[in-house]
Amino acid sequence: MSRAIHVFRTPDRFVAGTIGEPGDRSFYLQAVHDNRVVSVLLEKQQVQVLADRMGLLLDEVHRRFGTDVPPEVSELGDTSPLVMPIDAEFRVGTMGLGWDADAEAVVVELLAVSETEFDESVVLDDSDEGPDAVRVFLTPIQAREFSLRSERVIAAGRAPCPLCGEPLAPEGHICIRTNGYRRGETFGLSAADLDTEE
């Protein structure tokens, strides 16, 4: 069976988003054009890597080729949630990132997790062999906005522990810097324990 490659040459939006509460969130990337919506599931770290590398790619394109790329953005035009319902096409295994000089676009390719070995040449290629893929072409400004939104989505999770940096849960967490005591819990004597009446 040949692979499915979902191509978005002029997406209306390409965004990262989550479903679930902090500490139990599922991360998605979603490409939208008109009524066509494709969502893929991935790990938080993959979103972070893609956002970081996208910014670095734009800086390198400007440095190497003199291509006019916008500076990093500080305001988001698209703060809308993911389009519901979400029916993920696949879980992302491999990601590819490139620059299409003719289209002056950042090309993102997300490949499905595959149990079989495949040649990395299938990344950003239309061959029939290999895992299913989503390929999105982004203008430089869309790429900058993707990076900023992704950073904000990642930061919206649990706050880090000020001692060890691990994420804090509402019930606290076992902090390695406090010899295993749970941060957020109160230890000591209660008022009843201090009652010394006989």
Tens digits of per-residue pLDDT, 57-109?
999 999 998 898 998 888 888 889 999 999 999 999 999 999 999 999 999 99
Residue among 20, 62, 30, 44 at smallest CA distance from 151? 44
When pLDDT is cut at 50, 70 and 90, the band that residue 9 belongs to is very high
Residue 25 has pLDDT above 80, yes or no: yes
Tens digits of per-residue pLDDT, 106-162?
999 999 998 877 666 666 677 778 899 999 999 999 999 999 999 999 988 767 777
Q: Provide the phi-psi class of 34: left if phi over 0, else alpha when psi is between -120 and 50, else beta.
A: left
Contact 135, 6 (CB under 8 A): yes
**Which domains, and CATH codes, for the chain?**
5-155 (3.30.2450), 161-198 (no CATH)
Strand 105-112 relative to strand 133-138, pairing: antiparallel
Distance of CA 68 to the CA centre of its chain: 26
pLDDT reported for residue 182: 57
Residue 173 has pLDDT above 70, yes or no: no
Q: Kindly state the tokens that stand for 177.
A: 């810097």
Tens digits of per-residue pLDDT, 36-67?
999 999 999 999 999 999 999 999 999 998 89
* Confidence (pTM): 0.79
Contact 136, 15 (CB under 8 A): no
Cα three-residue angle 99-104-106, rounded to 5 degrees: 40
